Amino acid sequence: MQTSACIFDLDGVIVDTARFHFMAWKKLTDQLGIHFTEEDNERLKGVSRMASLEIILGIGNIKPDDCRKLEYAKLKNDWYIDYINKMTPDEILPGSLDFIYELRNANIRVAIGSASKNTPLILARVGILELFDAVADGNIISSAKPDPEVFLKAAEMVGIKPSDCVVFEDAIAGVKAALNAGMVCIGVGSSEVLTEAHYIIPGLKEMNLIKLRTIEKDIRS
Ligand code: BG6
Ligand code: MG
């Protein structure tokens, strides 16, 4: 059984946008008088915008009404968009493009599976919108990771069954989502954090087709 599709999370796997999320949330938390650290920001990886806001409000023990919450989320997103609008192709993480081209040449489908509603904007800013056979993102799903919806949707869009898909993920919630989808999951990041992933690499620079074949053979045998 060989991989027929690779599904990539976007933030933290193909581009490093966590720092922009942090900077934008920090502006909001400073306004609200909430002490918000980079360590707290780790908890927001892979988590949807509104769920991230809930975590932050929990840290500050603030309980605004729903209308105010939407206002806060919009403020944060407007600042975040200011940052991502300045992104360039140089910000694509090392090794990502080489690996994706290698997959495409081998006729393996490539898709994005991201919680972010800003996915199309980010892909366009870094110039890789056309590179993917399908983009499943926060705009078309109703259940956030660790629910498998976004990955199942990506698999459906490329016409490949879930068990023939491999997901690349940097967030705990995303690894859980991939496993819940019945897919092979390669964690991108720290082995201390992504303990549930089938295999862990520090970044896509460490991945190529031969390695992928070896890993999947071990996992699927
Ligand atoms: C995920 C990020 O990819 O997208 C989270 O890891 C973020 O930190 C989530 O909250 C939603 O992003 P957006 O762009 O829709 O606010
Ligand atoms: Mg991510």
Locate tokens 């699927």: which residue? 220
Q: Which residue is closest in CA terms to ligand 1's atom 4?
A: 116
**What is the distance in A from the centroid of ligand 2 to the CA of 10?**
6
Kindly list the averaged pLDDT for each block of 10 residues, start to end, along the chain of length 221. Answer: 88 94 97 94 91 96 97 98 96 97 97 97 96 97 95 98 96 96 96 94 97 90 78
* Ligand lying nearest the CA atom of residue 119: 1
Whole-number Å distance between alpha carbons of 10 and 145: 13
**What is the distance in A from the centroid of ligand 2 to the CA of 200?**
14
Going by their DSSP bridges, the two strands 199-201 and 184-188 should be labelled as parallel
pTM over cut 0.75: yes
Give the position, in ligand 1's atom list, of the atom nearest the Cα of 12.
Answer: 6
Whole-number Å distance between alpha carbons of 42 and 45: 6
User: What pLDDT sits at residue 1?
Assistant: 58
Q: Which residue is closest in CA terms to ligand 1's atom 8?
A: 45
Whole-number Å distance between alpha carbons of 52 and 26: 12
Residue 135 DSSP SS3: strand
Catalytic residues: 9, 11
Whole-number Å distance between alpha carbons of 125 and 212: 28
| φ, ψ dihedrals at 193, nearest 5° | -90, -45
* Ligand lying nearest the CA atom of residue 73: 1
Q: Which residue is closest in CA terms to ligand 1's atom 12?
A: 116
Ligand 1 neighbours, Cβ below 6 Å, are 10-11, 21, 44-49, 52, 77, 114-118, 138, 171
- Strand order of the β-sheet with 5-8 is 134-136, 109-113, 5-8, 165-169, 184-188, 199-201
> Between helices 209-220 and 96-105, what is the axis angle to 10°?
70
**What is the distance in A from the centroid of ligand 2 to the CA of 70?**
23
**What is the distance in A from the centroid of ligand 1 to the CA of 115?**
6
Dihedral angle, C-alpha 24, 27, 31, 34, nearest 10 °: 80
